[in-house]
Amino acid sequence: MPDININFSKSDGLVPCIVQDVVTNRVLMLGFMNEEAYNKTIREKKVTFFSRTKQRLWTKGETSGNFLMVSEIMVDCDQDTLLIKAQPVGPVCHTGNDTCFNEKNNTWDLSSLEGIIKDRKINPVKGSYTTSLFESGINKVAQKVGEEAVELVIEAKDDNKELFLNEAADLMYHYLVLLTQKGHSLHDVLAILKKRHNK
């Protein structure tokens, strides 16, 4: 992520931080960051706040597992307010609601799936198929992508819609696992496609 200048001196070392869903653009919550929380957010790619009540750093989802995976960080014109575009993993509010403003944010797309896959890499879950793929290494993950691609081609030659779409889903899932294993994202691929489109 590019370096940005943030003025932490205006409010006792804290800046307000608005978190927005990178896909739906829905505002998820508001928190506060000090410089230490900001640096940890950059380092771990998970939104971390400074809790004013607990007087300590607090990573959103540290107890629930409902992390906010950082996609982009922006600063306002006065350099004293942050906007973080993130991929939520599960409900954001402690009440179980999608957002802290009691709004629905139930869009499901490839970014949502990618967020879950990334979380499985960072936080392995025993018994998770995704975790087992990461643990098996890059050769196994790449092999699975190849196998699913062949199976999709085979199903494309027939007229069974259900089987074809299931194989397409399998390929897409394993492709996202491969991207994550290699340290890349769907956003990186889309940026290349966008660049090609603009030529």
Task: Compute the CA torsion angle 63, 71, 111, 176 (nearest 10 deg).
Answer: -90
Residue 194 falls in which region: left (phi positive, over 0), alpha (psi -120 to 50) or beta: alpha
Q: DSSP string of 110-122?
A: HHHHHHHHHHHHH
Domain assignment present for residue 2? The answer is no
Q: Which residue is associated with the tokens 């009540």?
A: 53
Residue 95 belongs to domain with CATH number: 3.10.20.810
The pLDDT value recorded for residue 115 is 87
Contact 95, 119 (CB under 8 A): no
> What confidence category does residue 2 fall into, taking pLDDT thresholds of 50, 70 and 90?
low
Is residue 135 classed exposed, middle or buried when 0-12, 13-18 and 19+ CB atoms within 10 A define those classes? exposed
Instruction: Kindly give, in sequence order, each residue whose CB lies less than 8 Å from that of residue 110, ignoring residues fewer than 6 positions away.
Output: 172, 176, 186
- Section 96-108 average pLDDT: 87
The reply to whether 99 and 126 lie within a common domain is no
User: Parallel, antiparallel, or unpaired: how do β-strands 15-21 and 82-88 relate?
Assistant: parallel
Q: Given a cut of 90, is residue 28 above it in pLDDT?
A: yes
**Looking at the whole model, is its pTM more than 0.75?**
no
Q: Given a cut of 90, is residue 79 above it in pLDDT?
A: yes
Give the chain's domain count. Answer: 2
Q: Which residue is associated with the tokens 């607090």?
A: 58
> What confidence category does residue 109 fall into, taking pLDDT thresholds of 50, 70 and 90?
confident
First to last CA, the chain: 25
Lookup: tokens for 150:
């062949």
Residue 21, helix vs strand vs coil: strand
The reply to whether 144 and 62 lie within a common domain is no
Of 49, 19, 46, 54, residue with least CA distance to 36: 49
Q: Which residue is associated with the tokens 């750093």?
A: 57
> What confidence category does residue 174 fall into, taking pLDDT thresholds of 50, 70 and 90?
very high
Per the prediction, the chain carries an average pLDDT of 93
To 10 degrees, what angle do helices 138-156 and 129-136 make?
A: 120
- Section 46-52 average pLDDT: 96
The reply to whether 119 and 174 lie within a common domain is yes
The last residue of one of the domains, among 105, 120, 136, is 105
How many beta carbons lie within 10 A of that of residue 24, not counting itself? 19
Tell me which H or E stretch contains 28.
Answer: strand 27-33
> What confidence category does residue 44 fall into, taking pLDDT thresholds of 50, 70 and 90?
very high
Domain assignment present for residue 8? The answer is no
Residue 158 belongs to domain with CATH number: 1.10.287.1080
CA distances from 198 to 51, 138, 186 (A): 44, 33, 18
Domain that holds residue 19: 15-105
